[in-house]
Structure 1
Amino acid sequence: MNSFICAIGTATPPHKIAQMQTAEFMAEALQLSADENRKLKALYRVTGIAHRYTVLPDFATTNGQFTFFPNTPDLEPFPTVQQRMAMYQQEALPLSVAAVEDCLVQIKQFDRSSITHLITVSCTGMYAPGLDIDLIQALNLPSTTQRTSVNFMGCYAAFNALKVADAFCQTDSQARVLVVCTELCTLHFQKYREYDHLVSNAIFGDGSAAVLVQSQPLPKHINIGLAAFHCELIPAGKKEMAWHIANHGFEMTLSSYVPDLIRQGIKCLTERLLQNLDLELSSVNLFAIHPGGRKILEAIEKALALQPEHNCFAYEVLRDYGNMSSATVLFVIKAILQTLSPANHHQPILSFAFGPGLTLESMLLRVHYV
């Protein structure tokens, strides 16, 4: 028995920053030489990102009048974890509420009191009482709503949240599960000049996505069934992608070897997911791949013999939003959902996401219309 995604909502902060404008900010913050500045801008140009969103207006400031970072040439004293978490607590709730509203408005006369479970997902901030409780109060959800938090798992965390939602629906036919992934990645800008940090600063943005999952599909509505999941670990990549709490924010390690590791493991992952479903990869035409970066998307295409058009939704999300960690793959699935019609009934959608571990997550979805 499948459970079903009935609606997906998304939201971004108000500050939309062009990619090369961010490069200018970074070059000044890092106090780069002319040659270093040239190399940094070259890196930003090849990301495939046109613009990203952030809760911090400082990234768009040209007069040096910052509101979060110090108004000093080297941004010292650099913001502490405490200051970054205070900003997360201030900004995560309104962004999450906007995503939920965008989700629930798609279902006519939706009764919020029917929500039984809330799953919150984030790797970019935490506090207690947390975002889950704040959402219960802000959305006027029942105080009896069962709450689960999936924290610090990185870009693949939405898959784990959907697995938990699916488990709730499998055991309770009346379950209505709201999943909210909210990531404020730009809070964690680091001033290191190592390549890993330069790449992280170049690709991550802020965003939120909300999903309603239930055991029964909505009638006369495009639903997406959760058909199967499969996860693999590549221990050799444990140090290549990591996420650590340091004194001045959360520090991302994103090695240049990650695309190669994903390329080596993605075919086996796909085969193991599909082998018990009586489904061949050649029969899949819709792909919801987490756009962790342009090179990651290209590595998957090479490993699975896909064409770039198979990946068009991932490239669009990467271009317009960058990598928003756990929320990103839900932006991709929403983009696909908006193109579907009843004629797509039962069509498969293959989805992937990746994160620390090195973790490879896969999921098979099916379009459902009744």
Structure 2
Amino acid sequence: MAFICGTGAAFGQHYRTDEMKAAFREAKQRSSGDELAFADRIFDACGFDGRSAAPEGREEYLHRRQAEMLDLAAEAACQAVQMWGGSCRSITHLLCGTMTGGMEAPSLDIRLSKKLGLPDKVERISVENMGCLTGFRLLNVARQIVAADAVRAKVLVVVADLRSLIGNSLPDFCERSDVISACLFRDAASAAVVTGSRRSGLLEIIGAKSTMSESVGKYRENQDGSTCLPDAIAAAEPKFLSTLLSEAGLPEVPTLAEVDIACLTGGPRILQEVAQAADVYKDQMEASWAVMKEHGNLSGASNLAVLDYHLRRVESRQPPRRFVIGLAMGPGPCLEGVLMKNLAAC
């Protein structure tokens, strides 16, 4: 058995949409009026009230990545360890993930280990480019590690992204797809501690599932605009969620009415598609909506950030539902799910 014993989340400075649009226009003064108008439409369409951004100014990419991302990662990790009540010195495994790529050594996991004071013998995994499902994918890896050694293993999962660096690094003239990425993605780090101790556990991880959606084939075949990625993912979600619940090995298969969903903060349409596909009410996705509106699309760091919000704020205000599903989509496209039992509701 594997239990989530603590979570944490850290963010950059927060800016309103009009501030972000003004900053983008200032940085892209040589761009055409059509390109700037396109960027304005994308900023407005994202549906974010606030946007978390750590770097300020157009400085060298790797320098920003090394400095700000490490600080965010350490802050989120410290929050998770503090909630757990344990010590960084007792961590046996460190799983790090990011979509903010950089060919550098030593990598984030080593620098974070030293900053946190983890043991020299801590076992590390560092992954990049798994996109918006990184947090839940690493959480499922943590579950496997703990299941293999429940007495000893104490796993710290940390995901950090500085996706606003896309906008800071754009050339004067760029593709519209780059503009969309610059408008959409923001900065954050999130973390979780997973152990075999039920006594200190908040959520028990009871099921996990990864898949490449069968319906993605239709998405790739039709490049005429007749279908799009959110539709393809939404078509795959009902079967994915049903299988995740039915394969958990519980005496009775939970219904989705008993579940809160912690979903990546991909944008309003993504959350609406998930709610419709799962046939759940908006309050069952309260944490996802709140984090998205306040901070923006946080890529893979959104997964555990939403879970952290859920544990700290949603459950403190209402009787908790029995189960929580972590759900995310990433490059491939792929789906990642984790089913958790809420120990406070048992």
Deviation at 1:150, TM superposition (A): 2.1
Asked if 1:6 is matched to 2:37, the reply is no
Alignment length, in residue pairs? Answer: 330
Mind listing any 5+ residue stretches in structure 2 that lack a counterpart? 221-226
Q: Identify the match of residue 23 of structure 1 among 18, 21, 24.
A: 21
Does the residue aligned with 1:105 lie in a helix, a strand or coil?
helix
2:146 alignment partner in structure 1: 169
Asked if 1:274 is matched to 2:255, the reply is no
CA contact (8 A) 2:191 2:305 kept: no
CA contact (8 A) 2:7 2:191 kept: yes
CA contact (8 A) 2:215 2:236 kept: no
Deviation at 1:98, TM superposition (A): 1.2
CA contact (8 A) 2:96 2:108 kept: yes
Q: Identify the match of residue 183 of structure 1 among 145, 149, 161.
A: 161
Is the alpha carbon distance of 1:194 and 1:117 closer, same or farther for their aligned partners in structure 2, counting shifts above 3 Å?
same
1:47 alignment partner in structure 2: 46
AA at the equivalent of 1:25: A
AA at the equivalent of 2:132: C
Residue pairs, 1:48-63, within 5 angstroms: 48-58=47-57
CA distance in 1, matches of 2:141, 2:180: 32
AA at the equivalent of 1:141: L
2:204 alignment partner in structure 1: 225
Q: CA RMSD in A?
A: 2.7
Q: Identify the match of residue 182 of structure 2 among 201, 205, 226.
A: 201
1:122 alignment partner in structure 2: 98
| Structure in which a larger fraction of residues adopt helix | 2
AA at the equivalent of 1:354: M
Mind listing any 5+ residue stretches in structure 1 that lack a counterpart? 59-66, 69-82, 242-255
Asked if 1:152 is matched to 2:129, the reply is yes
AA at the equivalent of 2:14: K
2:273 alignment partner in structure 1: 299
Is the alpha carbon distance of 1:33 and 1:281 closer, same or farther for their aligned partners in structure 2, counting shifts above 3 Å?
farther
Deviation at 1:343, TM superposition (A): 9.1
Is the alpha carbon distance of 1:238 and 1:146 closer, same or farther for their aligned partners in structure 2, counting shifts above 3 Å?
farther
Deviation at 1:236, TM superposition (A): 6.1
CA contact (8 A) 2:185 2:297 kept: yes
AA at the equivalent of 2:106: P
CA contact (8 A) 2:48 2:296 kept: yes
Does the residue aligned with 1:106 lie in a helix, a strand or coil?
helix
CA offsets, 1:59-90, max 9 Å, x none? xxxxxxxx52xxxxxxxxxxxxxx42232112
Percent of paired sites with the same residue: 26
CA contact (8 A) 2:206 2:341 kept: yes
Asked if 1:351 is matched to 2:332, the reply is no
Asked if 1:332 is matched to 2:306, the reply is yes
1:250 alignment partner in structure 2: none
CA distance in 2, matches of 1:124, 1:3: 29
CA contact (8 A) 1:116 1:176 kept: yes
- Name the TM-score, length of structure 2 as normaliser: 0.86
Does the residue aligned with 2:157 lie in a helix, a strand or coil?
strand
